[in-house]
Chain A
Amino acid sequence: MSQGSHEMPFWMDAILLPFLNIVTAFAATAVIFLAIGVDPVEATQILLFGAFGYEEGIGYTLFFTTNFIFTGLAVAVAFHAGLFNIGGEGQAYIGGLGAGMLCLFLGQWLPGLLVIPLAIVAAALFGAAWAYIPAYLQAYRGSHIVITTIMFNFLASSLMVYLMVDVLKEDGQQSPQSAEFAESSWLYSMHDFLAIFGVEIEASPLNLSIFLALLAAVFVWIFIWHTRWGYEIRTIGSNATAGVYAGIKPARVIVLSMCISGALAGMVGVNEVMGVHHRLMLDFHVGYGFAGIAVALMGRNHPVGIILAALLFGVLYQGGAELAFEMSNINRDIVVVMQGLVILFSGALEFMYRPWLMRMYLAISGRGDKQEVAA
């Protein structure tokens, strides 16, 4: 008797269920807003206006979305190999370091067409390298990847403080940040890019990295589901014993998937360092790595889901910031609570409605009467 083997149609599992979860999260948020004397309808209007109401807002929303796509994909790739990569924070940070150092040192000598691709590769390599060490320790020494990746977040943080304060700091400056990169290594911002084609939009941090994020999503989709390496990753992730039986080496899969995961997380550095700040600085990465876990969970570890979930988080980030700015009795912490509720209901309580939906579905479709007993 395989009790849990019944499946809901795709649209229920992938669309209706997440939708119900988000609605529940918003309902809970509304209750909290009412309790602190905020009108939820007005708050929603401000939030949505902040995220979509004007060009700069949209730009910010998509800029945040870009980061979430990268970290969401990173978590998803590791997850398909059965690994929980908590180290997105550190990998993003170190990825930024890689891109930043390349721009810093080569930016003034080489043309943009060369520096930018090189810097993107550097971000990927640095992120991958930062993930490689925990991956190696897991694969060949059995240290648990959750523990080591968390520790590597702290290590990344300390390393960056040291580098920014003692090594890479711009001479004669008080603040811990590097000199500005040569302009050739700046990634086009979206408003500059569109201006080339004569389209005028308001300035925002949104830059060409968003195309890189979409390309990364396509890459992950092809890699995981349409190559033999993806097949190996999914096999090890779902049933490592069967993988060994099939002649797949788990250690190699762990290292490969973690390196790809780290490289994707490292791309956050491209968006932040090359796209916006144009210099190395502290804490440009904070929060994106961890939020990536929720994004991947919500997006069912599928690139399409991850893009949608990343957009939702982008809206919450940008709209939430607007909300904290506009309403006096809402501060940043309430915005964090809101995000927390979304994570709670669509992550931790992901399957809360599932049994209920399943029953509804069976009752409505009445398939129970037609189907014979299956083993």
Chain B
Amino acid sequence: MSRHLFYGCLLSEIKVPMQSGMAIKLTDVSKRFGAVRANDKVSLSVEAGTIHGIVGENGAGKSTLMSILYGFYQYDSGTTEVFGKDHYFNNSREALAAGIGMVHQHFMLVDPFTVLENVMLGNEGGKLLKEGREQARTELTRLADEYGLSVDVNARVSSLSVGHQQRVEILKALYRGAKILILDEPTGVLTPQETTELFRILNALKDQGVTIILITHKLQEIMAITDNVSVMRAGKMVAHRKTSETSKEDIAELMVGRKVLLQVDKDESVTGKPLISVKNLTVKDAQGIERVKNVSFDVKAGEVVGIAGVSGNGQSELLEALSGITKIDEGSIEINGSLLTRKQPISPSKMRDIGLAHVPEDRHRMGMVNSFAAYESSALGYHNDEAYNGRFLMSRQKVKEYCGKLMDAFDVRPRDPNLKSANFSGGNQQKLILAREIERNPDILLVGQPTRGVDIGAIEFIHKRIIEMRDAGKAVLLVSVELEEIISVSDRVLVMCDGYISGEVSAAEADEKTLGLMMTNTDAAANLEEVVS
């Protein structure tokens, strides 16, 4: 039997609704990396034909557990049963053969290939592509129809939207005979509408008997779609709940181990004069493609302006233009009285001098240097400060002392300036960067994705500090893909779509639905531009 037919057989099994029972049963699975116990006697039962959510803070061990299930890592002790049979996966091929498929957070697709070629990859079914191609095409069309996963099989992956690329990933797993699908943070890159669409697909899959494991840190998604939920904390499984019998607050408390305030407390803002004033700003990337298109807005002293949008719609470029990192092409930016234009750029270090601080979106790529000790990262951007430098020499002692102060002020743990930056948890790295930028008392704060990959406890703290900045009369521009964060922290919300500002609402009027519509509404953006010009 050729490999291709073999997978075909597996596929035909999917159609038969699963007899109830356990799809996956893990008992006392432990895995350690060196000194770290990533998973400590974790037990998990996933009922066949259900959607099972797994939540936990960063570093709680969710990803490790899923990597074990998918055969990426091998566990040290414990047992795994898949559909009642004992298994020990040495690699992901064996996991696939047992019916487990995975959709990664970062897609594993070959961009220049078509959908069909991507799905066939690894299952070409013969020496010549031709042999397997037609068969694969038929099979793929059938699968797509059956689950409502409509995708143009001949389209290049690079031309597809993120939502459709994700469908290709799901199809790929199904094509290989997956009866259990693991999705790792699937909605991080999707718009609210795409998320709704994904959930429809997941429900359709569930109706056909597919078992789905959903890893996420978004509690409302857990509430919306899962049947059961398991909570992990510090490498241990701390609770299993039926979703219908629990609440967001309950799960949040289980994740963090203490009560958590999900809403941000704040008073009405008192605004002053504009500190950021952007007029008809256009920014092109290195390829000459316009990323920010004719954008105008103000941020006044004493307010938080949030920029919502699906990531990749010009927010990053806007932040980089505002902080002086990239050159602008048209329009002007006025920062605290200094004018920036195409012919008159202001360097990032000059920006700092005129009172602008910037917490970048991606802390590993931009906000710090992973291989540096914490104290060295704490001087990034301020390394020319007179306080650190003599005529020739830079005093490590002084940098360390100042770093210690920052760590005290923002409760960075462990409080060790000599520890390598990479060895802090995401939340503590972010707190150190925020401390570096906020403690010098800037007039303007740009913050990108302040809570990405940060655990719930630290989120609360970070939001509080941003509000404090506002209350102290500073101008804050907040860019985030988390709508909940935008709505709860900002006073005013701008929505970016395809480089345009496609809408503006006050935070009081903003809800996820209206923002979601604006985030996808390119027409509105174009219209808005016409009105402006």
Q: Give chain A's interface residues, CB within 8 Å of chain B.
A: 1-3, 5-7, 222, 225-228, 230-232, 234-235, 238-239, 241-242, 244-247, 358, 362, 367-368, 371-375
Contacts and interface: CB of A to CB of B under 8 A. Distances in A.
A150 to B, nearest CB: 27
Interface string B57-90: 1110101100000000000000000000000000
Contact of A247 (B381, B420, B422): B381
B445 to A, nearest CB: 15
- 7 smallest CB-CB distances across A and B, nearest first, come from A375-B59, A247-B349, A375-B425, A247-B348, A246-B381, A368-B35, A6-B34
A245 B351 CA distance: 11
B128 interface: no
Contacts of B369: 234-235, 238-239, 242
Contact of A238 (B370, B393, B427): B370
Contact of A226 (B36, B325, B379, B394): B394
B367 A226 contact: no
A368 B59 contact: no
Given A227-B392, A372-B234, A6 B35 contact: yes
B472 interface: no
Contact of B389 (A1, A228, A367, A372): A228
B367 A245 contact: yes
A228 B394 contact: yes
Contacts of B352: 247
Contact of A373 (B61, B379, B427): B61
Contacts of A358: 34
12 contacts: A1-B38, A2-B422, A226-B396, A227-B394, A228-B394, A238-B370, A239-B365, A245-B358, A247-B351, A358-B34, A367-B35, A368-B34
Q: Name, among B34, B348, B389, the residue most crowded by chain A CB atoms within 10 Å (CB to CB).
A: B34
Contacts of B324: 247
B235 interface: yes
B422 A242 contact: no
A231 B368 contact: no
A358 B34 CA distance: 8
Contact of A1 (B64, B325, B347, B381): B64
Interface of B: 32-38, 40, 57-59, 61, 63-64, 234-235, 323-325, 347-352, 358, 360, 365-372, 376, 379-381, 383-384, 388-389, 392-394, 396, 420, 422-423, 425-427, 455
Nearest to A359: B34
B380 A374 contact: no
B5 to A, nearest CB: 39
Given A228-B394, A235-B369, A238-B369, A371 B36 contact: yes
A109 B59 CA distance: 72
Q: Which of A228, A239, A368, A375 lies at the interface centre, i.e. has the most chain B CB atoms within 10 A of its CB?
A: A375
Contacts of A7: 420
Contacts of B234: 372-373
A258 B289 CA distance: 33
A232 B383 contact: yes
Nearest to A370: B35
B347 A247 contact: yes
B35 A238 contact: no
Contacts of A373: 36-38, 40, 59, 61, 234-235
Contacts, number: 118
B284 to A, nearest CB: 17
A3, A231, A367, most chain B CB atoms within 10 A: A231
B16 to A, nearest CB: 37
Nearest to A3: B33
A242 B347 contact: no
B35 A1 contact: no
| Interface-centre pick from B64, B372, B396, B422 (highest chain A CB count, 10 A) | B372
B267 to A, nearest CB: 33
B360 to A, nearest CB: 6
Nearest to B38: A1
Contact of B388 (A228, A235, A241, A368): A228
Contact of A244 (B58, B325, B388): B325
A1 B61 contact: yes
Nearest to B63: A1
A368 B366 CA distance: 32
Contacts of A234: 369, 372, 376
Most B CB atoms within 10 A — which of A7, A227, A245? A245
Contacts of B394: 226-228, 230-231
B423 A5 contact: yes
Nearest to A239: B369
A278 to B, nearest CB: 36
A229 to B, nearest CB: 9
A310 B32 CA distance: 40
A141 to B, nearest CB: 15
A228 B399 CA distance: 12
A247 B234 CA distance: 38
A215 to B, nearest CB: 16
Given A3-B33, A225-B396, 10 more contacts: A1-B38, A1-B61, A6-B36, A227-B392, A234-B369, A234-B376, A242-B365, A244-B325, A247-B352, A362-B34
A345 to B, nearest CB: 25
Contact of B348 (A5, A230, A245, A375): A245
A5 B358 contact: no
B299 to A, nearest CB: 20
A228 B383 contact: yes
A235 B383 CA distance: 11
A237 B407 CA distance: 26
A235 B369 CA distance: 7
Given A242-B368, A245-B358, A368 B383 contact: no
Q: Which of B35, B61, B376, B455 has the most CB of A within 10 A?
A: B35
B59 A374 contact: yes
Contacts of A228: 383-384, 388-389, 394
Given A5-B422, A238-B371, A374-B59, A246 B348 contact: yes
Contacts of B34: 3, 6, 358, 362, 368
Nearest to B453: A375
A373 B65 CA distance: 14
A375 B351 CA distance: 34
